[in-house]
Amino acid sequence: MAGYYRIIFGLTAVLIGVAVVRARALPRWTAAPALLSGVAFVADGVNVSYHGFVGANPANLISLASFVLFAVAATVAAWWPRAGRSGGMGMAVDTP
């Protein structure tokens, strides 16, 4: 069951990375940790499915570290004003 969870979570992280690249709501470099995390989670899920829990493997450490990096980057990007955005409440302003 843990292997399936990690594989599905990895596929979800890959889809989030693809969405970040396509939507450009976040800086494009933030897609790299999400994609790396997704691939590493899938590899860790396959490893757990075949071998069980056999200590810390590199895929597990890489997946967790890169996902934390993506989460922190996405949180900071949500609060950091970007060029081209008004930084307001998202409401349209009437201009003459």
User: For the segment 13-60, what is each residue's pLDDT rounded down to a tens digit?
Assistant: 999 999 999 997 888 899 999 999 999 999 999 999 888 887 778 888
Is 88 within a domain? no
- HSE, side-chain direction, 13 A CA sphere, residue 39: 7
**Average of pLDDT values for 65-88?**
81
Specify the higher pLDDT residue, 89 or 39: 39
Tell me how many domains the chain contains.
Answer: 1
Domain encompassing residue 54:
2-79
What sign for the dihedral angle of Cα 81, 85, 86, 88? negative
pTM of the model: 0.77
Instruction: Check whether 79 has a pLDDT greater than 70.
Output: yes
Q: Dig out the tokens for 42 from the structure.
A: 């899938």
Indicate whether 13 belongs to any domain. Answer: yes
Question: Would 7 be classed as within a structural domain?
Answer: yes
DSSP 18-61: HHHHHH-SS-GGGHHHHHHHHHHHHHHHHHHHHH---S--HHHH
Q: Domain for residue 85, yes or no? A: no
Cα 14 from Cα 31, distance rounded (Å): 9
In a domain, 38, yes or no: yes
